[in-house]
Amino acid sequence: MIIKGINDVPTAEVNGDNIKDVKKQVLIGKDDGSDKMIMRLFTVQAGGNTPLHTHDFEHLVKIEKGSGIVIDSEGEHKIEPGMVIYVKPNEIHQFKNNSNEELQFTCTILA
């Protein structure tokens, strides 16, 4: 069993086209012996955003802190703590923090 605190996990800046003020922590992953799943925590600063993009894999998202919007092919949807989101493979998506506080969400994917 692996037990650790979020504050014990290194934080890395997420860089790339159309990404603004996003950090990522790999909470549980291959380094922990998890060969099938990866749990990540993303922190998006006020005014920041992830890219508008797709992946060929699904992911499960849980909003942990703050508020903002998630964008998909149907438009914008308000998000807040306690909400969960299923992103299908190849579904376009983007997370934006349009508030004055941090937006944090976990994102779990298959390894």
Task: Give pLDDT, residue 111.
Answer: 84
SS3 per residue for the chain: CCCCCHHHCCCEECCCCCCEEEEEEEEECHHHCCCCEEEEEEEEEEEEECCCECCCCCEEEEEEECCEEEEECCEEEEECCCCEEEECCCCCEEEECCCCCCEEEEEEEEC
Question: Which CATH number is 71's domain given?
Answer: 2.60.120.10
Return all residues near 8 (Cβ < 8 A) that are at least 6 apart: none
Please report whether residue 65 resides in a domain.
yes
State the Cα–Cα distance between residues 82 and 5, nearest whole angstrom.
20
Please report whether residue 1 resides in a domain.
no
Please report whether residue 2 resides in a domain.
no
Please report whether residue 41 resides in a domain.
no
Task: Give pLDDT, residue 70.
Answer: 98
pLDDT, averaged across the chain: 97
Please report whether residue 68 resides in a domain.
yes
Please report whether residue 70 resides in a domain.
yes
pLDDT in tens, 2-25: 999 999 999 999 999 999 999 999
- Domain encompassing residue 17: 7-23+31-36+46-110
Please report whether residue 92 resides in a domain.
yes
Please report whether residue 79 resides in a domain.
yes
With a cut of 70, which residues of the chain have pLDDT below it? none
Count up the domains in the chain and report the number.
1
Contact assessment for residue 98 and residue 69, using Cβ atoms and an 8 Å cutoff? yes
